[in-house]
Amino acid sequence: MPLNLTKKYDQLLDVGQYNEYQRKESMMRIFKRDIEDNLLFKFRSKQIRPTKIEGESPMETLYHHLTTKGDKDENGKKTRKRTFEMARSIRLHWIKPHIDELTKSDIVVFSYEDRVNGKDVIRTYIYNKTNDYVLILEPQRSKLDYYLLTAYFLNEPGGKKQIEKKFKKKLNEVY
């Protein structure tokens, strides 16, 4: 398990051979090091914080969003349930190098006005075209900090096309 702490971008974590407890323990060490215990977890000098959901630990919620994906019912409609996703989890340690803008890959950063629950919401995307990876930040109302919403590998059908479409309609500045 400690071997995962030595993995660098763009290596993948070894979590497939672990049971659920060992896997979470290994990934939680990386999450704590790179995000939860990192006082300098900032994007372009703005502090990054987890979103707050009533009745839930913000860091636990963030960890959950970074290692699981939303389930869909038999009709393809999203449910509230989330399940472990290997593709996100083995890239958990990629978040910090992207936030710090240290990757040498083809990275684009842009803001886009998304429609979320009937409201227009500006979100900032860090999109790695080379490795098909995206991080989504949302500026806080104060515009002084960000919320880290999620990060994931673009392995779903139409995922890369959707991000490319947003990039073509990006806002003129990064928020």
Per-residue pLDDT at 147: 95
* pTM, 2 dp: 0.92
Domain assignment present for 173 = no
Domain assignment present for 75 = yes
Cβ(139)–Cβ(175) below 8 Å: yes
The total domain count for the chain is 1
Please say if the pLDDT value at position 17 is more than 70. yes
Domain region containing 91: 2-168
Cβ(128)–Cβ(103) below 8 Å: yes
Please say if the pLDDT value at position 1 is more than 80. no
Mean pLDDT of 158-162: 93
Domain assignment present for 82 = yes
Alpha-carbon gap, residue 124 to 126, rounded angstroms:
7
Domain assignment present for 25 = yes
Domain assignment present for 157 = yes
Confidence class for position 3, pLDDT limits 50, 70, 90: confident
Give yes or no for a cis peptide into 145 (omega within 30° of 0): no
Q: pLDDT tens digit string along 80-109?
A: 889 999 999 999 999 999 999 998 778 999
Per-residue pLDDT at 140: 92
Domain assignment present for 48 = yes
Please say if the pLDDT value at position 117 is more than 70. yes
Alpha-carbon gap, residue 132 to 146, rounded angstroms:
22
Domain assignment present for 58 = yes
In the predicted model, what is the mean pLDDT of the chain?
A: 92
Per-residue pLDDT at 168: 96
